[in-house]
Structure 1
């Protein structure tokens, strides 16, 4: 019955791309670990849970589900008979979801590391439970990055990739093997992103090449799109704007971008950035329009992969601000920046600081020097306690150069430099 459907369990499975057969297998594996006997959960059993026909699994199945998912049984949509039906998970505020993810993540880089299992201790049977554990590791790294930036986390990401590749050799099924290749690609791309953000472009490029190969082995279109998206960002930072446009167009051509308006919107927005820096204003504005149209068709309540959780109206406003400022529309850029900051979740601290830097540039490019200096100063407050990523340092360098060129008095530029030199150097 549709009205009794377990939406929470369904959403959890959808977010992790897990089939009913895989969940049944993971539950049986967990039961075997704590009872010594193989479980008997079938695919039909999982269908009964999803449909609501079975609203309270057997005790050992409940325990196994909690082990596999890391959630309480009631958080998975199950309640004893006579209890009210839980509210569907899809109505949950996405900001709450982000805060829960940050809460699950450790507050330090050490806690985010994916511990490598010694070869002698690795299981002879690798299944869905291992996939879930490693995916949780990716989510923790992404959450830490959103909170404070990825400085110092690339080693943890590469450790995760190495473990995924080691485990795929003992995968129980071809599907599990492909998902482990996909996770290796995700971890490697995550490491590359940390290096892009901190300005280590050469090593980032090598990791992206590897991540694309792993995405191909996984036959994972979304993983490939993620790599092309990062390749476009890397090329733009390296001032290779032709390659930036080509990489973002490669992202557009992936199967996931052709079928998912959310992914298509990001690919179009990234293309707009490339054209803006290439000096092609007409194409840049055109692709911004395509990004807006695609995003208007996306269902933002649906579960999504951790790497693209950042993308939505707030991020599109941020990218719009960049495009508008680069093509010489600072008034529109300032308006877009304000809209982005109003929509950004507080937990996205690094993104908030980055958008604030572009807001300061837009104000400076309108000649509002004092306001621009005040705005740029808030970046250090936003990022207090965390190192400034390389990309942000580069933006502040751009601001300083433009300030020196545009300020009516050299005193203003020197005062800004003197005031924030210490903050800049210790960040």
Structure 2
């Protein structure tokens, strides 16, 4: 009996303009990022995957294809040994519909019959960029809210719809894909920040595909760096490190040291999960060196502003040392981060204040820790999922560390006021 063709892989290749040879080349580059050695795939390898002759590739092949496509091996139509190839599930149908949208088929935006096609230009891209500025401002202030996620996702669709609203020059088309990827990555980050990880994964896959079509290195870096943060927050350090490696391997990190700084700093925060103190120190040292080499006057995306002033590096160093249990160092980074954060960065200020409280509690300073935690505004403590979870964990640790201390009663009474304040 002949092998069943891998229709899911064939469909993905068609939608993303890949031939057998170009996918093989992309997979080879992914293997090199993962292992340090160039892969040996060629067009015949890909044809074997498509034909179904290879139903379940080896681990390195699966990881390479997942890095290239942003999809799992099973979503790409591969079947683990011993299992039958499943019929396409409703969720897979939904994913296919979303990827159809990504490919630019936006019927609702078609030009009105009988009228001359409108020319889509950079002024349309500039208008989208202004909306992106508004999304970033909302994220900086509140973060994690479903409303931010929904607005960002809708604007990503709007950017895609413009592809078919008129004639589009290649440069404008790339910019529209970059705008769509930027909005989708903001939707992804809002979902991560709100601890809605399944939704974040769906946004991630679309953002990765859009970023590839745009060819924009900065947005590729943002998407993969966000992916690393997502896996770190999920407690999956191996996946987080792999995603960080993709971001750090992009040539924009060699062209602009500030991107290198952010890549190393986020890598350090993930390494904190592994308990490798030496590796954390190396990564933070590399981040600091890159920050010092970066041109402060270079033009960069607005979402890099906190990296340029050092606030993001201090924030990620705080996270790394807190994970390692280096509470004194964590406290020092917390104070520096809070001093550097701009006033409008209320979400980050609340998160780092909660982390400062954890660092103080780790040093046995229960009273000081509780006082610090009480500085988090009630509206952030109750409406931001990640902050709320951190403060719940802090409360449990406080009760365990200082049983019988009157500060426990103060903390309980304080948290009770949150319900009435909001």
Q: What TM-score do you get using the length of structure 1 for normalisation?
A: 0.69
* Residue matched to 2:237: 241
* Alignment of structure 1 residues 9-408 onto 2, 5 Å: 119=109, 124-151=118-145, 152-169=147-164, 170-312=166-308, 313-380=310-377, 383=379, 388-408=383-403
- For the residue of structure 2 that corresponds to 1:309, the secondary structure is helix
Deviations 1:354-375 (A, max 9, x none): 1111111111100110010000
Question: 2:416 is matched with which residue?
Answer: 421
Q: Aligned equivalents of 2:119 and 2:234: distance in 1?
A: 44
CA distance in 2: counterparts of 1:395 and 1:141, whole angstroms: 25
CA distance in 1, matches of 2:270, 2:419: 28
2:376 & 2:337 partners in 1: Cα distance?
Answer: 15
- Aligned equivalents of 2:107, 2:416: Cα separation in 1: 44
Q: Deviations over 1:180-214 (max 9, x none)?
A: 01111001010111111111110001101110000
Aligned-residue offset at 1:417: 2.8
CA contact (8 A) 1:257 1:263 kept: yes
In structure 2, relative to structure 1, the CA distance for the partners of 1:240 and 1:266 (3 Å cut) is: same
Match of 2:33 in 1: none
> CA 1:423 to 1:124, structure 2 compared with 1: closer, same or farther past 3 Å?
same
Structure 1 distance, partners of 2:121, 2:375, is: 48
Secondary structure, aligned partner of 2:377: helix
**8 Å Cα contact 2:228/2:239 also seen in 1:** yes
The DSSP-based 3-state class of the residue aligned with 2:224 is: helix
Runs of 4+ in 1 over 4 A off after TM superposition: 120-123, 424-427
d(CA) in 2 for partners of 1:424 and 1:326?
30
Secondary structure of 1:146's aligned partner: helix
Cα distance per residue 1:393-427 (max 9 Å; x no partner): 12112212221221142653354133213416865
Question: Closer, same or farther in 2 for the Cα pair 1:187/1:414, shift >3 Å?
Answer: same
CA distance in 1 between counterparts of 2:294 and 2:262 reads: 11
Comparing 121-130 and 131-140, the one that deviates more? 121-130
Q: State the alpha-carbon separation in 1 of the partners of residues 109 and 329 from structure 2.
A: 56
Root mean square deviation of aligned Cα:
2.2
- Alpha-carbon displacement from aligned partner over 1:70-120 (angstroms, at most 9, x marks no partner): xxxxxxxxxxxxxxxxxxxxxxxxxxxxxxxxxxxxxxxxxxxxxx99737
Distance of aligned partners of 1:424 and 1:205 in 2 relative to their CA distance in 1, 3 Å threshold: farther
Unaligned runs of 5+ in 2: 1-105
Find the residue that maps to 1:311 and give its secondary structure.
Answer: helix
- Provide closer, same or farther for how the CA distance between residues 160 and 396 of structure 1 changes in structure 2, counting only shifts above 3 A: same
Name the CA distance, whole Å, in 2 between partners of 1:359 and 1:339: 11
Residue correspondences, number? 310
3-state SS, counterpart of residue 168 of structure 1: helix
Is residue 111–residue 118 contact of structure 2 (8 Å, CA) maintained in 1? no
CA distance in 2, matches of 1:121, 1:142: 31
CA distance in 2, matches of 1:134, 1:347: 22
1:125–1:254 Cα change, 3 Å: same
Contact 2:382 2:418 in 1 (8 A): no
Task: Provide closer, same or farther for how the CA distance between residues 118 and 213 of structure 1 changes in structure 2, counting only shifts above 3 A.
Answer: closer
Gaps of 5+ in 1: 1-115
Distance 1:141 1:368 in 2: 38
Q: TM-score, normalised by structure 2?
A: 0.69
Q: Does the CA contact (< 8 Å) of 1:144 and 1:150 recur in 2? A: no
